[in-house]
Structure 1
Amino acid sequence: MKKHITLITGGDRGIGRATALLLAQKGHTICIGYRSQQAQAEEVVALIRRDGGNAIAVQADIADEEQVIAMFQQVDRELGMLTGLVNNAGILKSQATIEQLDAQRIASIFATNVSGSFICAREAVKRMALRHGGQGGAIVNVSSAASRLGAPHEYVDYAASKGAIDTLTTGLSLEVAAQGIRVNAVRPGFIYTGMHADGGEPGRVDRVKESLPMKRGGQPEEVAQAIAWLLSDEASYITGSFLDMAGGK
């Protein structure tokens, strides 16, 4: 049976946490990448181990290239050959219009959401590519419905960063398809996670849910199911694809 070793950035909360718990149930060995919430990350690890799974937590700010490299090296040493990456870590600043943005804020968001995801993907490809002795694998990028909708009056900078993730997904999928690596993305929107509090409106999903065709917000576990499927052999002929998960919006 093929061994699945999967790194999830931002695995300490929200979609990342739900994905880690689900993948562990499916037999994946998990690395929880986290930036600052060590207690939350260790809690996820403890839950996985309690149920008989194998997991570690590794601190890394993905906006820092050296920390990303060190995180992947720790996976090499402690877990073995990587087969899966969930590029989930991302940041969101307080709601603002374009007139309220400054270069520092934009650069901060792009450093994590774009550069960080690129560097994580680079390190994963170095390990998974057949030409490097890897056994192939799968990358799932967590984009956002904001990349399609633009998030006007709220998070245009965040939306633009996720637009870059969409382009990364398309380009990288073509670049590494012959190396046994599949690259896909999910585009969740209006999910009940703590990220909305980061933007200054914890109750945002409840505010907007009536405007959604499905009239409800989504749960992290629903997104986790999609990510798990895209990582699985059941999706073995799918690459460069996007799953929109925003209640029909």
Structure 2
Amino acid sequence: MSNTLSGKVAVILGGTGGIGAAAAHRLAKAGARVVVVGQRDLARAQRVADELPGEGHSAALASITESERLNALAGLVRDRYGRADILVNTAGFTQPVKHADLNALTDELIDEILKVNWRGQFAAIRAFRELLDASGDGLVVNVSSISGTTGVGSNIAYCAAKAGLDVMAASLGRALAPRIRVLNVSPGVVDTTFVPGRGDDFNEKVAATTPLGRIGTTDDIAAAIEACATHLTFSTGVTIVVDGGRRLN
């Protein structure tokens, strides 16, 4: 196990999802103590934490849409560890809506998508800013999507939210420097159950039209998140695309 991140504490929101759990494993293997944050199921978050290499990991619950709970989470991390060096925002939500079906993209769904996929990430950064700043080498990694630049995705609001995350990285990369870096990792299609209704047929079709010949794995995205913490230490305010060349089509 590498000790590149030895002494550092990483908080992963959405830590029980495919990308979140993979990122937790990568950062733990690099030596970080990891707080796996789920939304509702503490036992599930604890199972992810228990399976991580190394020691000092823990589980917690917080809803990314509730700022008070995010503030409480930051307080819990401060009390338990005395620090937080890395915040990874992998939590998200979407629902397939054809782009031409304007009536199906209701006001309520738009609000929910923006709340979960943009406002929540901002609120999490706001809640952890003090701890990350105190680290002196703080890092935020948001999971964006190539839909934010291609305009092709599960629905138009989701594309807009991810475009907003990319702008947020640029804005906060400037505003929070030099003590906190802000980076986005932007996947294409990833082999998870994140988008309801997408199965093997969809994945095979996308793989066939992707330049590198396959869709992404959760570990592909986790490796990029790890790289933000371990290798890309002179980068901030930018979005790193991890899509097998999918956006080139």
The CA deviation at 1:105 is 0.6
Instruction: After superposition, give the CA deviation of every residue in 1:36-56 in whole Å (9 maximum; x if it has no partner).
Output: 2434322211102xx332211
Matched, 1:242 2:244: no
Matched, 1:111 2:111: no
Correspondence for 2:86: 84
2:58 partner amino acid: I
Asked whether the 8 Å contact 1:23–1:228 carries over to 2, the reply is yes
Asked whether the 8 Å contact 1:17–1:44 carries over to 2, the reply is yes
Asked whether the 8 Å contact 1:25–1:53 carries over to 2, the reply is no
Determine the C-alpha separation between the residues in 2 that align with 1:244 and 1:84: 20
Correspondence for 1:206: 204
Correspondence for 2:49: 45
Three-state SS of the structure 2 residue aligned to 1:243 is: strand
Determine the C-alpha separation between the residues in 1 that align with 2:112 and 2:19: 21
Asked whether the 8 Å contact 1:13–1:40 carries over to 2, the reply is no
Three-state SS of the structure 2 residue aligned to 1:217 is: coil
- Unaligned 5+ residue runs, structure 1? none
Three-state SS of the structure 2 residue aligned to 1:63 is: coil
Asked whether the 8 Å contact 1:5–1:80 carries over to 2, the reply is no
Determine the C-alpha separation between the residues in 2 that align with 1:16 and 1:173: 22
The CA deviation at 1:2 is 5.7
Instruction: After superposition, give the CA deviation of every residue in 1:6-59 in whole Å (9 maximum; x if it has no partner).
Output: 1111010211110001111111011111112434322211102xx332211111
What is the RMSD of the two structures over their aligned residues, measured on CA atoms? 1.6
Choose which of 219, 222, 227 in structure 1 pairs with 2:220. Answer: 222
Instruction: After superposition, give the CA deviation of every residue in 1:107-135 in whole Å (9 maximum; x if it has no partner).
Output: 11111111100011112222222xxx443
Determine the C-alpha separation between the residues in 2 that align with 1:211 and 1:240: 30
Correspondence for 2:73: 71
Matched, 1:33 2:37: yes
Asked whether the 8 Å contact 2:85–2:138 carries over to 1, the reply is yes
Task: Number of aligned residue pairs: give it.
Answer: 239
Determine the C-alpha separation between the residues in 2 that align with 1:43 and 1:207: 34
Correspondence for 1:23: 27
Asked whether the 8 Å contact 1:173–1:239 carries over to 2, the reply is yes
Instruction: After superposition, give the CA deviation of every residue in 1:62-84 in whole Å (9 maximum; x if it has no partner).
Output: 11111111111111111221101
1:61 partner amino acid: S
Correspondence for 1:148: 149
Runs of 4+ in 1 over 6 A off after TM superposition: none
1:210 partner amino acid: A
Determine the C-alpha separation between the residues in 2 that align with 1:156 and 1:220: 24
In the superposition, the TM-score normalised over structure 1's length comes to 0.90
In the superposition, the TM-score normalised over structure 2's length comes to 0.90
Correspondence for 2:176: 176
Asked whether the 8 Å contact 1:140–1:230 carries over to 2, the reply is yes
Determine the C-alpha separation between the residues in 2 that align with 1:207 and 1:158: 21
Asked whether the 8 Å contact 1:85–1:139 carries over to 2, the reply is yes
Percent identity (aligned)? 28
Asked whether the 8 Å contact 1:95–1:200 carries over to 2, the reply is no
1:85 partner amino acid: L
Asked whether the 8 Å contact 1:60–1:67 carries over to 2, the reply is yes
Determine the C-alpha separation between the residues in 1 that align with 2:212 and 2:128: 36
The CA deviation at 1:242 is 1.7
Three-state SS of the structure 2 residue aligned to 1:235 is: coil
